[in-house]
Structure 1
Amino acid sequence: MENRPEVVNNQFFGAKNNSTFNVLDIIKYLLFHWPWFLLSVCIFGGYYYYQYSKTTFTYRQASTVMIKTPANTPSSATLTRSGMSYNTVNLATEMLQLKSKELMRETVESIKADVSYVVRRQLRDYELYNESPVLVQFVNYNPSGSFSFTITPRDNKSVLVVENLGKDKEKVYIAPLNKAIKTSFGGIRILATPYYTKAAYDQEISVNKLSSIDMANALLGRLSITQTTDDASLLQIAMEDSNPQRAADIINNLIRIYNINSINDKNQIARNTADFINNRVAILSEELGSVEGDLEKIKINNNGMDVAEVGGMYIEDSRSYRLEATKIDTDLKLAEMMSDYLSKSDKQTALIPNNTGLIDGNIEGQIQAYNTLQIRKNKLMEDGNSENPIVKEIDKSLNTMRSGIERTLGNTISGLQVKKNNAVKEENRASGKSRQMPQKQRLVLSIERQQKVKESLYVFLLNKREENAINQAMTDDNIKVIDPASGSFAPVYPDKFKKVGLGVAIGLVVPSVILILLLIVDSGVRNRKDLEDGLSVPFLGEIPLAKKNKHTVGNVSVSQTGRDALTEAFRILRTNINFMSRGGVPPKVITFSSARVGAGKTFSVINLATTLSFLNKRVIMVDLDLRKGTLSSRIPVPVRKGITHYLSDKELNPSEVIYKTEISDNIDIIPIGVIAPNPVELLHSDRLDNLIAELKKQYDYIIIDSVPVEIIADAYITDRVSELTIFVIRSGKMDKRELPDIEKIYQSKKLSNMAILFNGVNSGKRGYGYGYGYGYGYSYRYGDDKKSFWKKVFNK
């Protein structure tokens, strides 16, 4: 006999499908659980909105500046700065100097940024920079300490000061305005500002005092300096702060103080040079006066006689040599003065005067390089770190350069001395012709020569002093402000849309991950698609999860006029059974089995029998679960004898074990009777075949409630009398890994005309797979099972 259905391509029959998860199914699965996404988005979005609402606003202000170079300074077009300007400007060095702690500390002190006044409005803190109702002056306190307290204006005469002492301890003061009070950290005086109005009364203001260096470190972390373009000396100085005006003031004052310091650095060489020139001018003025006095005395002693005219004819030849000797002597004096300056012990670390007129240009260049390196060292020493390896390396370089300058000066002096001696020698030779001149003539010549040397040097130094003063007056800033500090007064952080958007994104991701993980780790059979992916067994239908109804007989959940999903499901099952025909004859003997206990086969037996009775079909239910008798326990009948009695007693007639049920006049039952000790032997009896044959004459349908196939062999024994075996699988009660075993049963034809009934499908928990529904998408609830909105939403 052929055990397979004739219509194998019918839409109610399964075909084994080896497909796995696909994106569309997963999207549908996730979209079905939209209430959890909505809840998650509300939770995370709300949490991040709360975080946004309590986060202090951060504002950004920026300024564009130009670092001046010798090529773009006004003075460079007309004058040479002679070592007082940088030959090249290293932008990286300037950026590091702008971010130095000392410069920021000076900026903090200049705008009093080390004291902040904060007020809380709703959840967020706001900084009252230059808008605070009170101003606190600190008296006799530790400048390096940090502390905080609160001030609450009470009236126009006093405020309430609360000092937090730690460990939930506070100290409260009633402080009069404009009068000093003593606290644990020192004295304070609270002054009222123009913002001290009645609106400020009872408003708690948090006052935070940091040391200037700590505040400088905090602000440096929020300061950024970047080069706008690679080929230009333009920098953008940006500051992020909780108050936009304070950010702008910090940038502007940082630039101002930097320019002041750079001008002072540049003028330091000019000041040293001016001191050197003024000292030499004073000495030469005194010496020149003495020489002119000696010359005046000689003329007076000679009764006003012009000795030069008398001896002019004798010294004409030596004039040129004398002039040469004078020039050489001038250079020699300058070199000796410079050598004396370098040899002084108190000038070993000072800047060397430059632009003094030495004829050796190599010396001027060495001095300029020495001064530049000395200034760099002084900059590095401002932080007081004399052990810095860079400082030590610079000291070595300075010592080497100073020694080189001294050697060069020594060589220059020696060379000038040789030249001078040669010139004097030639002059003496030419003057030999004037030996006939009186001794006074020679004295006059000597005095005049000294006068000319000193006068020439005096005039030269005066010119250099004026030139140095002009250069000092023309010293300009290192930084030119192109765009003053400005920016939007809208906060750059936190970004409301980004913050809340992040919460929404997390709210979408978290349930997605959880649901997908649950989907991945869930090995239970949850929907029809799980069955179709693993089985080729014909599929009869889906039975939705039924509610427990204690008021019905035998757990009958269907009704003849019902339009609920459960009733419709059994109607579809009743129709589909007709397609499982053999030789064109619909099955009359239907056996229900399952893999294990709890699949709902007894429930399906009772409700299918009831549904068949709606068509005026005579139906009998036979309880062949001889070990448990679940069907018998569900149907209340006055049992005296049952199937076990019939199979064991050959004298009994079938009519003696058939009972009417309260379910319907068209439904009878053969109960189990008593639990038999030998069920296998009873089921092998020919009386079972005779019983089914007799019942087929009296009833339209015989529905057998058999045992689970994986527990005992009874189901296989009774299969000989069955025309259709409905294998009941309950949603969530079977592991997908067990489906190959069911497929094996089907392929081996151990059960006659086997088909699958999927029971216990929770229509409220569908999602991944085909879901549950009837009537091509039309609902049959019609108000039979009305629920509140929230029950509908969260019963998924």
Structure 2
Amino acid sequence: MEENNINKLLSNYTKYWPLFLISLVICLGGVFLYLRYWADTEYQISSTLLVKTKDAGQGSIQAESIKSLGLIKNTTEVEDEIGILKSTGIMEKVIANRSLNINYYVEGKVRDVEIYGNDSPIEVLVDETASGLIYDLPIEIKILENNKYELITVMEDKDYRASYSFGDLVEAPFGTFTISKNENSSYVDNGKPLYFVIRNSELVIDDFLKKLNIDLANKTGNLLQIQFLSQNKKKGEDVVAGLIETYVEEMIKYENELAENTIKMIDGRLKLLSGEIEGVEKSVEQFKTRNDLTDVASNASLYVEQANDYKKLISEYQTEIKVIDAIETYLQQGNMDTPIPASLSANDPSLTGMIDQYNATLLQKGQMAQSASDANPIIVNLNRTLDELGKAIIENVRSAKNRLMIAQRNLQSNANKYQAQIAKVPSMERQLVDISRDKSTKEGLYLYLLQKREEEVLSLAAPVSSTRIVSLPKSSTYPVSPNKTALYLGGFLLGLFLPFSIIYIKDLLYNKISSSEELSNYTTAPILGEIAKSTTGETLIAPQSNRTPIAELFRLLCFNLEYLKKSEHNQTLLITSTIKGEGKTYIASNLAITMASNSEKVIVLAFDLRMPKLMNQFGLSDNPGLTNFIIDNDIQISEIIQTHPQYDNLHLIGAGTETSQVGRLILSNRISTLMEFLKGKYTRIIIDTPPIGLISDAFALNDYIDSTIYVVRQDYTKIDCIKTLETIHENGKLRNTMVVLNDSQEAKNYGYEKTR
């Protein structure tokens, strides 16, 4: 069922394939024209740059010297470098150095073509500081003979035309500039006008920065990927190259200024230190001469050295005493079930051995305790051993502590002796040491600054940037914008979407029956069959030998009529519809021919007394007919019956003389007489009635009929009309109501053509 629904949905759209084809051609053609004449083709220019992110400087010598001096703390991040590269200041210098705010064009049939570099025969240098400069004004230049040219433009609805020589300063109302010839130009004059436009530099900067993208080439490194979009490959490469060159120049300039300022600062400090060192040397000389001192400080140094050695030994003994105290405290606190920590070790080998034995015994006890109780002899024995070892350790600790304290007091005594010797050193000797220390400090600082100055001079003499160009600016081979694949795909989808939407909206707003499936959704009456639209325009099917699809469909209709019948005979058939034009007379005529072709004796009654058409289709007269028989009692039934000229079994009764009393005539008892006569003589009686949506004549014939064939025309009958059909079927107003879908599109391919 789901597959059938999908097929039905697809078939509902595929029948409009010409509309889809036209829409696709228009949309794809529109994309082609847009790409050909209106779209701005852009290429992507790419370059890779390696930047140094820490201690930025000209080299390792300069960077280290600045850092160690504490003058500058440079810890530049990659994001900062990206910000510098994308700054308006850098881009402004790029545009100014290369005059990128001046665009050159050659007029085209549809759109003008920009030329750049050697493609342009001229170069324009604009004085942007001059007053009266007009931006975005097309200025045509016509190259003349004798190194002259002519400027042509329209300014404020006034024509401007003037001739100049190349190299002259042009002071025009729209700006001041100089035009020179490009000697390396490959421009070929093909007669198309050449003009240039001066653009506002600020707008050009904003435009270029929007097309510039700088990002990390990878997450962990310092490689920067520079990408720029440009309509001209060479111009885009020049922009990126100029950006990198300007960035490098600015970095070198900054680093050189930094080095020069550092050298000036060092020179000032060296001059000051030189005077201070000279003053300290004179102070030492005067002090020794005044106090008659030689090398007394040598003995004082020896005393200090010995005193320091004793203090070091005292400190070591004090540390060992603290370790022994910690062991004693640990055992006295009763921690008999946990080992003595390894950090509480001592330099005494015997004490260390006893501690190791104690820990080993405690480990053995712990292992035995997992499988034996405390009353186990082995556990008891181990506890006794641990107790004895603990007591032995405590005694050993106390003995060692006493020895260490005696040795510490002896060392302290010796240290005091040397300290006393130091105290005897004259205070003037200490003054001399202070003076000498001050001298040594200043000399060391002087030498250090002198070394750094030489390093700064060397770095300034060899200006090399820390930035390295990994890959030069290179344009993509094919344009990246517009995306032709995406545009053509979008055009293709739009070409499908537009007719799809039109069909969908049409179906959504369509209020007529479009298929047998839709018909079955609105009525519970059985569908007798479908009749395809005649391709020849004939209202009657051909003789019996005709095996066209329509003839086959009427034969199928006769078969279904017998299959769906509810009465024994199903002799009398009433053919009706809701409104005019649904084809009830067409169905009645051809159904009669089909039945007559099957050797049934058939008579057709034209009970559409107001607008009779039945007899006209057969080429017969309506008179005398039904109205004549009903009104005139003298007329016999045999007088109004006509025989079909081709089918002996097919007879017809026309509507008769036109009258305005149809409503009264349809209720006449003469109709009952007529029907009883016909039922006794004919196998099939087919009654063509007027539409029941307009006239109720068909309901008056319900007592005489066996079945009703209700005609619905595809794409003609409104859905609201089916409500009338459903009401008739549910209420039984017409017996055994069955539905025929006329003019069906689905039935066109049914059957087969006649073969020769």
Same fold (TM over 0.5): yes
Task: Report the AA paired with residue 229 of structure 1.
Answer: N
Task: Report the AA paired with residue 608 of structure 2.
Answer: D
SS of the aligned residue for 2:117 comes to coil
Task: Report the AA paired with residue 24 of structure 1.
Answer: N
SS of the aligned residue for 1:226 comes to strand
Contact in 2 for aligned 1:590/1:722 (Cα 8 Å)? yes
Structure of higher RCO (CA pairs closer than 8 Å, 6+ residues apart): 1
Aligned to 2:371: none
Aligned to 1:648: 631
Contact in 2 for aligned 1:318/1:426 (Cα 8 Å)? no
For 2:287 and 2:709, how far apart are their aligned partners in 1? 156
SS of the aligned residue for 1:592 comes to strand
Residues 558/58 of structure 1: CA separation in 2 closer, same or farther (3 Å cut) = same
Contact in 1 for aligned 2:53/2:78 (Cα 8 Å)? no
SS of the aligned residue for 2:454 comes to helix
Task: Report the AA paired with residue 243 of structure 2.
Answer: L
Post-superposition offset of 1:528: 1.8
Aligned to 1:205: 194
Aligned to 2:94: 107
Contact in 1 for aligned 2:622/2:653 (Cα 8 Å)? no
Unpaired segments ≥5 residues, structure 2: 298-425, 433-437
Contact in 2 for aligned 1:148/1:206 (Cα 8 Å)? no
For 1:684 and 1:94, how far apart are their aligned partners in 2? 104
SS of the aligned residue for 2:587 comes to helix
Correspondence for 1:496 among 484, 488, 492: 484
CA RMSD of aligned residues (A): 4.6
1:312-323 alignment to 2 at 5 Å? 312=289, 314-316=291-293
Residues 638/20 of structure 1: CA separation in 2 closer, same or farther (3 Å cut) = same
1:181-580 alignment to 2 at 5 Å? 183-194=172-183, 199-278=188-267, 312=289, 314-316=291-293, 465-470=453-458, 472-473=460-461, 476-546=464-534, 555-556=539-540, 558=542, 562=546, 564-579=548-563
For 1:52 and 1:80, how far apart are their aligned partners in 2? 59
For 2:288 and 2:629, how far apart are their aligned partners in 1? 175
Does residue 22 of structure 2 align to residue 51 of structure 1?
no
Residues 471/30 of structure 1: CA separation in 2 closer, same or farther (3 Å cut) = same
Correspondence for 1:753 among 720, 736, 745: 736
For 2:8 and 2:139, how far apart are their aligned partners in 1? 60
Residues 627/283 of structure 1: CA separation in 2 closer, same or farther (3 Å cut) = same
Contact in 2 for aligned 1:592/1:601 (Cα 8 Å)? yes
Count residues in correspondence: 618
Residues 688/566 of structure 1: CA separation in 2 closer, same or farther (3 Å cut) = same
Aligned to 1:6: none
Correspondence for 1:774 among 744, 750, 756: 750
Residues 70/575 of structure 1: CA separation in 2 closer, same or farther (3 Å cut) = closer
Contact in 1 for aligned 2:592/2:602 (Cα 8 Å)? yes
Residues 619/188 of structure 1: CA separation in 2 closer, same or farther (3 Å cut) = farther
Post-superposition offset of 1:72: 9.3
CA deviation map 1:483-538 (0-9, x unaligned): 22224222111222222121011111222222223233323211222223344433
For 2:161 and 2:185, how far apart are their aligned partners in 1? 21
Contact in 2 for aligned 1:728/1:756 (Cα 8 Å)? yes
Does residue 53 of structure 2 align to residue 69 of structure 1?
yes
Post-superposition offset of 1:566: 3.9
For 1:481 and 1:234, how far apart are their aligned partners in 2? 10
Residues 184/78 of structure 1: CA separation in 2 closer, same or farther (3 Å cut) = closer
Correspondence for 1:589 among 572, 586, 601: 572
Residues 610/150 of structure 1: CA separation in 2 closer, same or farther (3 Å cut) = farther
Aligned to 1:28: 11
Post-superposition offset of 1:284: 8.8
Q: Over alpha carbons, which structure has the higher Rg?
A: 2
Post-superposition offset of 1:31: 2.3
Aligned to 2:688: 705
Contact in 2 for aligned 1:134/1:196 (Cα 8 Å)? yes
CA deviation map 1:621-655 (0-9, x unaligned): 32222344444676665555432232233333113
Post-superposition offset of 1:255: 2.1
CA deviation map 1:87-115 (0-9, x unaligned): 42222222112111011101112222222
Contact in 2 for aligned 1:62/1:239 (Cα 8 Å)? yes
- Name whichever of 61-70 and 536-545 sits farther off: 536-545
Contact in 2 for aligned 1:70/1:76 (Cα 8 Å)? no
1:117-132 alignment to 2 at 5 Å? 117-119=104-106, 126-132=113-119
Contact in 1 for aligned 2:540/2:617 (Cα 8 Å)? no
CA deviation map 1:152-191 (0-9, x unaligned): 6566666564424367x75455666555555431245443
Contact in 2 for aligned 1:56/1:124 (Cα 8 Å)? no
For 1:579 and 1:453, how far apart are their aligned partners in 2? 126
Correspondence for 2:153 among 158, 163, 173: 163
Contact in 2 for aligned 1:41/1:503 (Cα 8 Å)? yes
Unpaired segments ≥5 residues, structure 1: 1-16, 296-307, 321-424, 432-449, 764-769, 783-796
Correspondence for 1:720 among 703, 713, 728: 703
For 1:694 and 1:95, how far apart are their aligned partners in 2? 106
Contact in 1 for aligned 2:571/2:684 (Cα 8 Å)? yes
CA deviation map 1:662-692 (0-9, x unaligned): 7877654433334555544433333212212
For 1:528 and 1:87, how far apart are their aligned partners in 2? 84
Does residue 56 of structure 2 align to residue 80 of structure 1?
no
Task: Report the AA paired with residue 129 of structure 1.
Answer: Y
Residues 640/231 of structure 1: CA separation in 2 closer, same or farther (3 Å cut) = closer
Does residue 598 of structure 2 align to residue 598 of structure 1?
no
Post-superposition offset of 1:594: 1.0
Contact in 2 for aligned 1:318/1:427 (Cα 8 Å)? no
CA deviation map 1:214-261 (0-9, x unaligned): 211110000111122332222211111112222222222212222222
Does residue 606 of structure 2 align to residue 623 of structure 1?
yes
For 2:482 and 2:605, how far apart are their aligned partners in 1? 73
Contact in 2 for aligned 1:59/1:243 (Cα 8 Å)? yes
Residues 529/206 of structure 1: CA separation in 2 closer, same or farther (3 Å cut) = farther
Aligned to 2:330: none
Does residue 725 of structure 2 align to residue 742 of structure 1?
yes
- Name whichever of 33-42 and 142-151 sits farther off: 142-151
Aligned to 2:124: 137
For 2:523 and 2:293, how far apart are their aligned partners in 1? 135
Aligned to 2:305: none
CA deviation map 1:380-438 (0-9, x unaligned): xxxxxxxxxxxxxxxxxxxxxxxxxxxxxxxxxxxxxxxxxxxxx9779999xxxxxxx
For 1:178 and 1:77, how far apart are their aligned partners in 2? 46
CA deviation map 1:695-731 (0-9, x unaligned): 3455554321112233343212202222332111111
SS of the aligned residue for 1:625 comes to coil
Aligned to 1:421: none
Aligned to 1:90: 77
Task: Report the AA paired with residue 109 of structure 1.
Answer: A
Contact in 1 for aligned 2:615/2:621 (Cα 8 Å)? no
Does residue 591 of structure 2 align to residue 608 of structure 1?
yes
Aligned to 2:715: 732
Post-superposition offset of 1:202: 1.1
Task: Report the AA paired with residue 56 of structure 1.
Answer: D
Post-superposition offset of 1:68: 0.7
Task: Report the AA paired with residue 115 of structure 2.
Answer: L
Residues 561/183 of structure 1: CA separation in 2 closer, same or farther (3 Å cut) = farther
Residues 210/690 of structure 1: CA separation in 2 closer, same or farther (3 Å cut) = same
SS of the aligned residue for 2:575 comes to strand
